[in-house]
Amino acid sequence: MKKDIILAGVGGQGILTIATLIGYAALKRGWNLKQAEVHGMSQRGGDVQSHLRLSDEPIWSDLIPFGKADIILSVEPMEALRYLPYLSDEGWVITNSTPFNNIAKYPEIADIHNRVKEIKNHILIDADSIAKEVKANRSMNIVMLGAATKQLGFEPDELKEAIKTIFSKKGDVIVEANLRALEAGLQLG
């Protein structure tokens, strides 16, 4: 059993939090894990990605090979497309539909959405709006995690436990908001 996951977004959108939560759940299962992150200059509003590899066998490379990713989980739609060379034939693209527009010429959002829809296995959801609906405005990333739970191969309870543990220091209000966000995402996955 292995899962190779590309997490994608823009610096500051919270993809490393998603990685931490999935990582926690994977370790609880006693799986091996490698997670390559981007630090430094790119974090300043540039495109960022994390290679997250889970397996019950030894993992060698810190980077996922091109053409081998099982999932691209993205919190921004254009960023989901940037990593298509990594996606395997049967891989899934699970992405937020809300653009993060911090560049001069952001493409037509309809063109981006249409290209996502051309991918055989895809989930395209408006995670920003859903987060707001469930009064968890800052938890768009957790909505996306919820939407990807099934493809990631986890039980909802495993990720709920991860949220409770990882966010416990931030207090019950934050934990509850993130659990609502996860639940809302689960409904759409």
Partner 1 sequence: MEKLMLLGDEALAQGALDAGISGAYAYPGTPSTEIMEYIQRSKQAIEQKVHRTWSSNEKTAVESAIGMSYAGKRTIVCMKHVGLNVAADPFMNSAFTGANGGLLVVVADDPSMHSSQNEQDSRFYGKFALIPVLEPSNQQECYDMVFNGLTLSEKYHVPVLLRLTTRLSHSRAGITTRQTLPPNQLHFPEDPNQFMLLPAFARKKYKNLIALQNDFLKESATSVFNKKHESEENRRLGIIACGLAYNYLMENFAGKQIPYPILKICQYPVPVEAVTELYNSCESLLILEEGMPIVEEMVKGFSWSGTKPIKGRLDGTIPRDGELNPNIVARALGLPDKVGADIPDVVAPRPPQLCIGCPHADSYLALNEALKEYGKGHVFSDIGCYTLGFMPPYQAINSCVDMGASITMAKGAADAGLYPAVAVIGDSTFAHSGMTGLLDCVYEKANVVIVILDNSTTGMTGGQAYTAAGHLEDICIGLGVEKEHIRVFVPLKKNFDEMVQIYKEEIAYDGVSVVIPRRECVQTLKKKNKMEE
Question: What is the residue type of 123?
Answer: I
Task: Give whichever of 45 and 135 is closer to partner 1, judged by the CB atom.
Answer: 45
Please calculate the CA angle 62-90-24 and round it to the nearest 5 degrees. 45
Which spans of this chain sit near partner 1 (rule: CB under 8 A)?
10-11, 23, 27, 32-47, 51, 57-63, 65-67, 69, 78-79, 81-82, 84-89, 91, 102-108, 111-112, 115
- Sequence-distant (6+) residues with CB within 8 A of 80 are 8, 72, 74, 93, 95, 116
CB 131 within 8 A of CB 144: no
- Shortest distance in whole angstroms from residue 183 CB to partner 1: 25
Task: Give whichever of 63 and 155 is closer to partner 1, judged by the CB atom.
Answer: 63
- Shortest distance in whole angstroms from residue 186 CB to partner 1: 26
Task: Give whichever of 42 and 168 is closer to partner 1, judged by the CB atom.
Answer: 42
CB 117 within 8 A of CB 153: no
Task: Give whichever of 81 and 184 is closer to partner 1, judged by the CB atom.
Answer: 81
